[in-house]
Structure 1
Amino acid sequence: MATTIILTEDALTDADVQHIQGLQVDPPERYRVLVPEDTDANVVAAIIDHLWTGELREAGEDLVGREPTEEQAKATATERLERSLELLRAAGAVADGHVTQEDPLPALTAAVAAEGGPEGVQGVVVVTYPHVVADTLRRDWASRAREELRAPVLHLYAGTSAIGD
């Protein structure tokens, strides 16, 4: 069964689902969605990202350390996963997935291995918001996944048709 694995930091949007499905000539038979818990973001990088995109209030919240509890982070990730699966299914796809630990790379590597390695998946798609520091230094999830998997990984910016590096 052809599978595309999607790693996303937020719930997919209708636009994200359309872009992901539109990128593939032969739609996969299944999508597997991974959504990480986020309990310990890099505060400095988050502040720079918010300032870069003009989100002053969010930068201030990061500065005072309003991070979610573990329970809140898991609940938020579960909601994002359920919403993403709902949208994929509404678009006619077979989809499953799960919430991962904060660092999603081990779960992504395991999901790819479960499908027979990079040759066994139709694609790996990482959907994030732009992260100026991580993207520039190639420490973003997509860059790290390419290094770990030694396979092509498509990086989409959430809610847009923009493709990351």
Structure 2
Amino acid sequence: MALETVMLAVGSQDRDRAGRLTSTVVDIAEPAGAEVVLLHAFTEEELDDAVGRLDYEFGDRPDADEVARRLSVVRDIADELEEAGITLTVRGAVGEHAESIVGVAESSEADLLVIGGRRRSPTGKVVFGSTAQEVLLDSPCPVTFVRD
């Protein structure tokens, strides 16, 4: 299978593992000449918080792509990917995280999805759910999971 599009889904909690996520994507995408879709998924509340923190003019409601491009974790990863010579598109999506990630993977026709997460106990997964687990089960393409 030829890799044309690799999607990297990140969230604000990925700051500590951004380097590992980025190097994983570079190791995969660079030799294949694949393009990268760098996605940040927001809930409505997270998007509102981000818009407030990023000092948009009152009344302006930027789209999720624009807000994602301005987040520091996304900018840092995008800069490193561009330095590695990788072509990328930054996307933002609004909704439940797992559904948004799967939806963008489908619409971008991703050949591979890279996500990060932490190890959780079985009880923790049942009680709190797991975005990564939902994505692994519902993804339209293979998933590479980078854990803490």
Q: Is the structural similarity TM-score above 0.5?
A: yes
Task: Name whichever structure is richer in helix by fraction.
Answer: 2
Give the letter for the 2:34 counterpart: E
1:137 aligns with 2:125: yes
Q: Distance in 2 between matches of 1:13 and 1:146?
A: 19
Give the letter for the 2:98 counterpart: L
Residue in structure 1 matching 2:49, options 57, 65, 69: 69
User: For residue 47 of structure 1, what is the aligned residue in structure 2?
Assistant: none
- Bigger drift between 131-140 and 5-14 goes to 131-140
Q: Which runs of no fewer than 5 residues in structure 2 stay unpaired?
A: 56-66
Give the letter for the 2:7 counterpart: I
Same amino acid, percent of matched pairs: 9
Q: Distance in 1 between matches of 2:122 and 2:35?
A: 30
Distance 1:143 1:135, change over 3 A: farther
- Bigger drift between 86-95 and 96-105 goes to 96-105
SS at match of 1:132: coil
Give the letter for the 2:36 counterpart: Y
Distance 1:150 1:18, change over 3 A: closer
* 2:41–2:95 CA contact under 8 A, matched in 1: yes
1:45-89 CA distances to partner (integer Å, 9 max, x unpaired)? xxxxxxxxxxxxxxxxxxxxxxx8353467885312222211111
1:87-133 CA distances to partner (integer Å, 9 max, x unpaired)? 111111111122222523333223222244xxxx33100023x2636
Q: Distance in 2 between matches of 1:26 and 1:101?
A: 32
Q: TM-score, normalised by structure 1?
A: 0.57
Q: Distance in 2 between matches of 1:72 and 1:4?
A: 31
User: For residue 22 of structure 1, what is the aligned residue in structure 2?
Assistant: 27
Task: Name whichever structure is richer in strand by fraction.
Answer: 2
User: For residue 91 of structure 1, what is the aligned residue in structure 2?
Assistant: 84
Distance 1:134 1:72, change over 3 A: farther
SS at match of 1:21: helix
